[in-house]
Structure 1
Amino acid sequence: MSATTLSQAPLRIGPLTLDVPVVLAPMAGITNTAFRRLCREFGAGLYVSEMITSRALVERTPESMRLITHHESETPRSIQLYGVDPKTVSEAVTMLVAEDRADHIDLNFGCPVPKVTRKGGGAALPWKRDLFRQIVEGAVKAAGDIPLTVKMRKGIDSDHLTYLEAGKAAEGAGVASIALHARTAAEFYSGQADWPAIAKLKETITDTPVLGNGDIWSAADALRMVAETGCDGVVVGRGCLGRPWLFGDLAAAFRGEEHTAHPSLGEVADTFRRHAELLVEFFDDEDRGCRDIRKHVAWYFKGYPVGGELRARLATVGSLQQLDDLLATLDADQPYPGEGAEGPRGRAGTPKRPALPDGWLDSRELAGAERSSLVDAELDTSGG
């Protein structure tokens, strides 16, 4: 079904103007240079790096430095940072700006992963109002003319919502836009995103663009979110897994054009092969690139008549030649399967009690003992 078209105004994020108000959501282990380049080949918008830990970046660990490297074709360059210490986050932002490594910087306050929230990071952090404000204000100051944005969730759970208060604090700090994933950390990716919460944030935040995130599986969903919530743009995550052509659909829809991609099995195979090739280039290692493409098999071939044995072999591929041999056995003329290839993808998880530091919910302000306990929160390269 073709999406109902809508002519949408460009999205302005500080000095950046996006003709198509679409942002690729940072996804750990997914939105590396290879996937971002592939998505760009299909559509337009802002394509954000996977989440980088600010401490690892300040320490210039080899992996963090590799993750922030953009291909020469990537413009604008967008990096998402995760951190819990205002000083370290500011230092990371200062480094990115001073070394001209980014045209846009986003701060993550939405990650629901237990290893992040149990240390007070991600979606848990806005509960501590002073800490959130200090991080955002320091980062905006360090960013200077580079637009700095925030992405967050509704809160920790339905009894501990933070998004309206955090949104107002972020706007007051001078961020260039605010993105809301309309779920709590407790919901993870389960159930249905609360789009009315996006509308409520948009009503609350009057001078800063608000972006909506959650349950965008098609261009029609994106247009419906804008129509129902009044948000200024959309952030697309799991909906593009194995479907980079979704960004072409989104670009057409927001430009008021009628277009929906219905790729044949051969076209999907060609895109899958292109993704693998870009991963090999990104890692500069054929074995590692082929190992990484394995996790994308189920997403790309969702709904298509690809037998279980072939799927299993694709999920153990070890070289580009082996990949080519396997893809050559597909019936390339098989048409788009319709609904079988559409809809939700990626792990939704189940609602669960978020992992938090001891006593985290006892106060909205950060106690001294809690501040010292955050020291281990940034040990990984990527927080996601």
Structure 2
Amino acid sequence: MTAPTGLALGPLEVPTPVVLAPMAGITNAAYRRLCAEYGAGLYVCEMITSRGLVEGDETTRRMLVFDDAEQVRSVQLYGTDPTYMAKAAEILCAEYGVAHIDLNFGCPVPKVTRKGGGGALPWKRGLLARILEATVTAASAYDVPVTMKTRKGLDEEHLTYLDAGRIAQEAGCAAIALHGRTVAQAYSGEADWDAIGRLVDNVDIPVLGNGDIWEAADALRMVAETGASGVVVGRGCLGRPWLFRDLAAAFAGEATTTLPTLGEVAAMMRRHAELLCEHMGEERGCKEFRKHVTWYLKGFSAGGEMRRSLGLVDSLASLDRLLAELDPDEPFPVSALGAPRGRQGSPRNRVVLPEGWLDDTDGSDCAVREDADETTGG
């Protein structure tokens, strides 16, 4: 099949069918700006909680920062209560000028699933429908499209994605993104792209595929094999914001694989740290940057002492001194291409759920109360 050249989410037109997956502690305004500088797409803010937003939690509000160059504001929202989710959607649209809201029903983190949130919630079909309908209704008053992201299910014995797709379509969602893993798998093993294809065959709304997209060629292959309308890219872009340039080129029919030298990567690292400092102040920005060092240097020969020093950087001046010591001519390690990045881990023996969660699949009278200051997920 011919690869799509754009993505329509209700009234929102995305020029390249690529979405940056919201990742906690990663997809802040600085990182979204950096990725957008390399290619077109939809760049989603890290996940926030509905109750935290509605009740004015300071941490939640601080996460809702957008770069001046961010023309399309997109936010992922987490919650388990239809009333809070609807009110939070209204706040995002009316007070923050958000143009797209994504709902998180895929997070596998135990502290989220034990409360019935994230990837656990689609088991309760009735509750899922109430949340989607309430949120879509609230956002539609501002002509803002709502999408949802989910996983295959709790585990292979408790699959939910086909029902979730049907419910999302009936509720008026503009699209559904499917990560081809179960909650029990977390980020281990391989993503099941066949499940993405089955979902495409079962719904009329756009389906976005997520999981194991490490290179632009993977995105094209996923679309060709599944019929998905676009892709969601998460771990594959860690330490590689230029991946979005390759993705934009690939969907435009051009085969491009960017292989930056270590000097070019160092310039990207400096740009990333600079943007973080602009948004957070130099001290906090440099601390936030530390987590990205290992991803940027993956496969390069930079020694352990250099990596340790970069992992303790506390100012842009010290960062500049360290980056100047790197060999600018060292070629990109092609052995790192196509390799998993970020967390992987092992599958879980069981998914942590609220007591009695599996007893029924309705949950029409069920709502689990999340904490107002809970900001984990992504």
Q: Taking structure 1 as the reference length, what is the TM-score of the superposition?
A: 0.95
Answering whether residue 20 of structure 2 is matched by residue 24 of structure 1, we say yes
Structure 2 segments unaligned to the other structure (5+ residues):
none
Q: Once the 2 structures are TM-superposed, how far is the Cα of residue 281 of structure 1 from its aligned partner?
A: 1.2
- For residues 268 and 260 of structure 2, the distance between their equivalents in structure 1, rounded to whole angstroms, comes to 10
- For residues 256 and 157 of structure 1, the distance between their equivalents in structure 2, rounded to whole angstroms, comes to 37
Partner-residue secondary structure (3-state), 2:231: strand
Residue 375 of structure 1 is matched in structure 2 by 369
Residue 312 of structure 1 is matched in structure 2 by 308
Structure 2 residue aligned with 1:359, among 356, 360, 365? Answer: 356
Q: Taking structure 2 as the reference length, what is the TM-score of the superposition?
A: 0.96
Residue 233 of structure 2 is matched in structure 1 by 236
Structure 2 residue aligned with 1:209, among 206, 210, 231? Answer: 206
Superposed, 1:1-384 pairs within 5 Å as 7-144=3-140, 145-206=143-204, 208-283=205-280, 285-340=281-336, 342-352=338-348, 353-366=350-363, 371=367, 374-384=368-378
Structure 1 segments unaligned to the other structure (5+ residues):
none
Q: Given the superposition, is the C-alpha separation of residues 48 and 292 from structure 1 closer, same or farther in structure 2, using an over 3 Å criterion?
A: same
* 8 Å CA contact retained: 2:238, 2:296: yes
Q: Given the superposition, is the C-alpha separation of residues 103 and 225 from structure 1 closer, same or farther in structure 2, using an over 3 Å criterion?
A: same
- For residues 87 and 185 of structure 2, the distance between their equivalents in structure 1, rounded to whole angstroms, comes to 32
The percent identity for this pair of structures is: 59
- For residues 238 and 323 of structure 1, the distance between their equivalents in structure 2, rounded to whole angstroms, comes to 24
Q: Given the superposition, is the C-alpha separation of residues 377 and 201 from structure 1 closer, same or farther in structure 2, using an over 3 Å criterion?
A: farther
Partner-residue secondary structure (3-state), 1:99: helix
Residues 274-333 of structure 1, C-alpha deviations (whole Å, 9 max, x = no match): 1111111121x2111111111111100001110111001101111111110000101101
Worse-superposed segment, 113-122 or 55-64? 55-64
Partner-residue secondary structure (3-state), 2:294: helix
Partner-residue secondary structure (3-state), 2:257: coil
* Structure 1 residue identity aligned to 2:333: P
Q: Once the 2 structures are TM-superposed, how far is the Cα of residue 67 of structure 1 from its aligned partner?
A: 1.4
- For residues 323 and 372 of structure 2, the distance between their equivalents in structure 1, rounded to whole angstroms, comes to 41
- For residues 235 and 329 of structure 2, the distance between their equivalents in structure 1, rounded to whole angstroms, comes to 27
- For residues 225 and 236 of structure 2, the distance between their equivalents in structure 1, rounded to whole angstroms, comes to 19
Q: Once the 2 structures are TM-superposed, how far is the Cα of residue 182 of structure 1 from its aligned partner?
A: 0.6
Q: Once the 2 structures are TM-superposed, how far is the Cα of residue 97 of structure 1 from its aligned partner?
A: 1.6
Q: Given the superposition, is the C-alpha separation of residues 367 and 379 from structure 1 closer, same or farther in structure 2, using an over 3 Å criterion?
A: farther
* 8 Å CA contact retained: 2:207, 2:230: yes
* Structure 1 residue identity aligned to 2:264: E
Q: Given the superposition, is the C-alpha separation of residues 98 and 257 from structure 1 closer, same or farther in structure 2, using an over 3 Å criterion?
A: same
Q: Given the superposition, is the C-alpha separation of residues 238 and 231 from structure 1 closer, same or farther in structure 2, using an over 3 Å criterion?
A: same
* 8 Å CA contact retained: 2:55, 2:372: no
Q: Once the 2 structures are TM-superposed, how far is the Cα of residue 367 of structure 1 from its aligned partner?
A: 7.5
Worse-superposed segment, 80-89 or 67-76? 67-76
* 8 Å CA contact retained: 1:56, 1:379: yes
- For residues 163 and 137 of structure 1, the distance between their equivalents in structure 2, rounded to whole angstroms, comes to 17
Q: Given the superposition, is the C-alpha separation of residues 210 and 367 from structure 1 closer, same or farther in structure 2, using an over 3 Å criterion?
A: closer
Alignment RMSD, CA only? Answer: 1.4
- For residues 351 and 305 of structure 1, the distance between their equivalents in structure 2, rounded to whole angstroms, comes to 31
Q: Once the 2 structures are TM-superposed, how far is the Cα of residue 69 of structure 1 from its aligned partner?
A: 2.1
* 8 Å CA contact retained: 1:304, 1:340: no
* Structure 2 residue identity aligned to 1:357: P
- For residues 323 and 261 of structure 1, the distance between their equivalents in structure 2, rounded to whole angstroms, comes to 24
- For residues 245 and 287 of structure 1, the distance between their equivalents in structure 2, rounded to whole angstroms, comes to 26
* 8 Å CA contact retained: 1:53, 1:383: no
- For residues 158 and 316 of structure 1, the distance between their equivalents in structure 2, rounded to whole angstroms, comes to 42
Q: Once the 2 structures are TM-superposed, how far is the Cα of residue 6 of structure 1 from its aligned partner?
A: 6.0
* 8 Å CA contact retained: 1:47, 1:78: yes
